[in-house]
Structure 1
Amino acid sequence: MLFLYIFAIKLAWFPIGGYGEFSNLILPALTLGVLGCGWYSRMFRSSMIEVLHQDFVRTARAKGLSNFQVITRHIIPNAILPIISMIGIDIGIFVGGLVVVESVFGWPGIGQLAWQAIQRVDTPIIVAVTLVSAFAIVIGNLIADLIAPLIDPRIDIKNM
């Protein structure tokens, strides 16, 4: 509601509701993105601090690599792995957040469909939405597991 008030009503940068155009997508996407932004940034910071104290970082600095090279080549790839796993797990939370975002921004979607089905006690639709959400969670976890070996070559995809 705050994004709607500031960016759509006060500043008039974006439309208040509707769907179908790119400008209608920005505020809902921003709302869903802000949902986990603080949590992921805090976890990434903790992960970075943990990786900073590892032996391979000390070795990389001893080899004469610049701070930028140490951070981009050694620290970030190792620190981002837990974040990628968390995002894969949190797909379900994002799907749950869709109900609120679709209601606020007036988007007809799976969240609205689920809410209307729950109100009408429409069991087949509730089961279908649950299955689609579960499928999204499984695919999100699969994608996270497939991205991890691309970032960290120590992870062997054959032994997964």
Structure 2
Amino acid sequence: LRQDFIRTAHAKGLSRARVLMRHALPNAILPVIAMIGIDIGIFMGGIVIVESVFGWPGIGQLAWQAIQRVDIPIIMGVTLVSACAIVLGNLVADIATLFADPRIKVR
């Protein structure tokens, strides 16, 4: 909020809400959107621990049991599903970034 373009917007006489919504938010939301896309991978890694601790049936518990039994096809399948979730999360984050900031163009 101490950047020059924010001060300029205030100097033009814009209200505080208008400055925050039109000038500050689009610049501040981009790193948040990018981190959400990256966090999808972290969440997929944490599923194994959460499901093992609480005993919930799911893909994390399936992966853990497959690792203990050295069941290669299931390990490969879980890895493929996890990788697809990470790629999809990053794709959604990139598309959301396009909508959040009109200065970004697709080539």
- 1:92: Cα distance to partner? 1.1
Residue 74 of structure 1: how far off its partner (Å): 1.5
Are 1:135 and 2:47 matched, yes or no? Answer: no
Of 32, 40, 56, 1:107 maps to: 56
Q: Deviations over 1:41-83 (max 9, x none)?
A: xxxxxxxxxxx23332122111212222212222122111012
Report the secondary structure of 2:13's partner residue: coil
Confirm whether residue 125 of structure 1 aligns to residue 74 of structure 2.
yes
Matching residue of 1:60: 9
Higher mean Cα deviation, 99-108 or 83-92? 99-108
Higher relative contact order (CA 8 A, sep 6+): 2
1:85: Cα distance to partner?
0.9
Give the CA deviation at 1:91: 1.2
How far, CA to CA, are the matches of 1:142 and 1:98 in structure 2? 21
Between stretches 135-144 and 88-97, larger displacement belongs to 88-97
Structure 2 counterpart of 1:98: 47
| TM-score normalised over the length of structure 2 | 0.90
Q: How many angstroms does 1:103 deviate by?
A: 2.2
Question: What are the ranges of 5 or more consecutive residues in structure 1 without an aligned counterpart?
Answer: 1-51
Aligned mates of 2:64, 2:22 — CA distance in 1: 45
RMSD: 1.3
Query: Residues of 2 paired with 1:135 and 1:150: CA distance?
Result: 23
Structure 2's unaligned 5+ residue stretches are none
| Identity %, equivalent residues | 72
Structure 2 counterpart SS, 1:65? coil
Tell me whether 1:151 sits opposite 2:78 in the alignment. no
